[in-house]
Amino acid sequence: MLVQVCVTLLTTALLAASACYTESPPEQRWWAWGNVVICAGLALTNMPSLPVVVDNILGYGVIGFGIALVLRGLRVHFSSTLSWRTVAVITAIALLVPAYYTLVTPSLRARLCFSGFYFAILNWMCAATIARHGRLRVTGISVAGFSVLGVGLLLRGMHMLLHPDPADSASSLVMGLSTLAIPLAQICIAFGLIMMVSWRYSERLRRLSTLDALTGALNRAGLEIQGKRVGLRALRGGRSLAVIMIDVDYFKVINDSHGHPVGDEVLRHLARLLKMELRPHDLMARFGGEEFVLVLDDVNLAAAINVAERLRARIEREMVELDKLSVRYTASMGVVCSDEHGYDLIRLISAGDAAMYEAKRAGRNRVVGA
């Protein structure tokens, strides 16, 4: 019991410390507060000198409230929530049933059985929330921790249900194993929750390092990483790989005449139009200031030229509006295919760039296939 209490306090301190900085995500604060409340509940249930209402009733309600806060934090982490009404219901059940077996039909055995079964179910709800929404490679340790903690509590409840004398159960093998499993599970849960937040931050950093902040398209680094994968996949499958280079005509004139905010809106508008044309396995990247590149898998030169013509005509028809100002713009495009230039993405982009500048020299607002 001393080891269990110490582990509970240490894991709670770890979660609280990880949540005590300005930009910590809200779920970390819910987890930290939940563990603090659970610690308080455990303290209340292990102080027989306190009034029976506090020791046998309020303590269980506090533990239930703490687990509900942890569950709410898990829901928040996965872009959902747990209503306060549900939190209140979870807490009320943890209060009322022990109250019944304390004041109406006094039974230590029944109260301990209920607490084991009920808190096991709540921990399994936490495990199910993570398993349903998270990647097991990242969240597996948390799922295992909540599951093992639930099993340990269930074993305690079952043992109290089947054992004729609860006073002797502390020395049994089942109680010993559950007492060992619970602190180990708490350690897994604490580190697993921190790993989940760390992975979320690493994913955000990865996205920031590979995406263009203005348009949401891939930047050059992202294009290099994902473009190699797409090219290798097309090469292995024996499929054509097409590249479309796109450049906004007279973009400097737009900036000089209407200001950079309008120019930025033109780029965002173009990115939205291009995304609408893409399939899930195609790529779009902002290659330069006003220059974009599309990488189309399993598309030959003729089909890619048709795609580019469709895009060019749509861009010409569209109107960009910002602050009661309407602007039209056009784009020149160069199209190349792996059938003529191979699967090396750098070579394809270079050939597509040459075709695009040929379109500009030919009068702009047109498509040239290399």
Per-residue tokens: 55: 């020791």
Residue 329: CB partners within 8 Å, gap ≥ 6? 248, 249, 250, 251, 254, 266, 270, 315, 320
Q: Are 280 and 267 in contact (CB under 8 A)?
A: no
Cα pseudo-dihedral 48, 172, 67, 94, rounded to 10 = -60
- Which DSSP category does 117 fall into? H
* Whole-angstrom distance, CA of residue 306 vs CA of residue 303: 5
Q: Are 241 and 349 in contact (CB under 8 A)?
A: no
Whole-Å CA distances, 270 to 109, 278, 316, 328, 335: 69, 13, 11, 11, 17
Which among 302, 307, 301 has a CA at the least distance from the CA of 278? 307
Find the catalytic residue in 203, 277, 290, 316: 290
Mark whether 290 is an active-site residue. Answer: yes
Phi then psi for residue 327, to 5 deg, are -135, 135
* Whole-angstrom distance, CA of residue 174 vs CA of residue 209: 51
The residues carrying an active-site annotation are 290
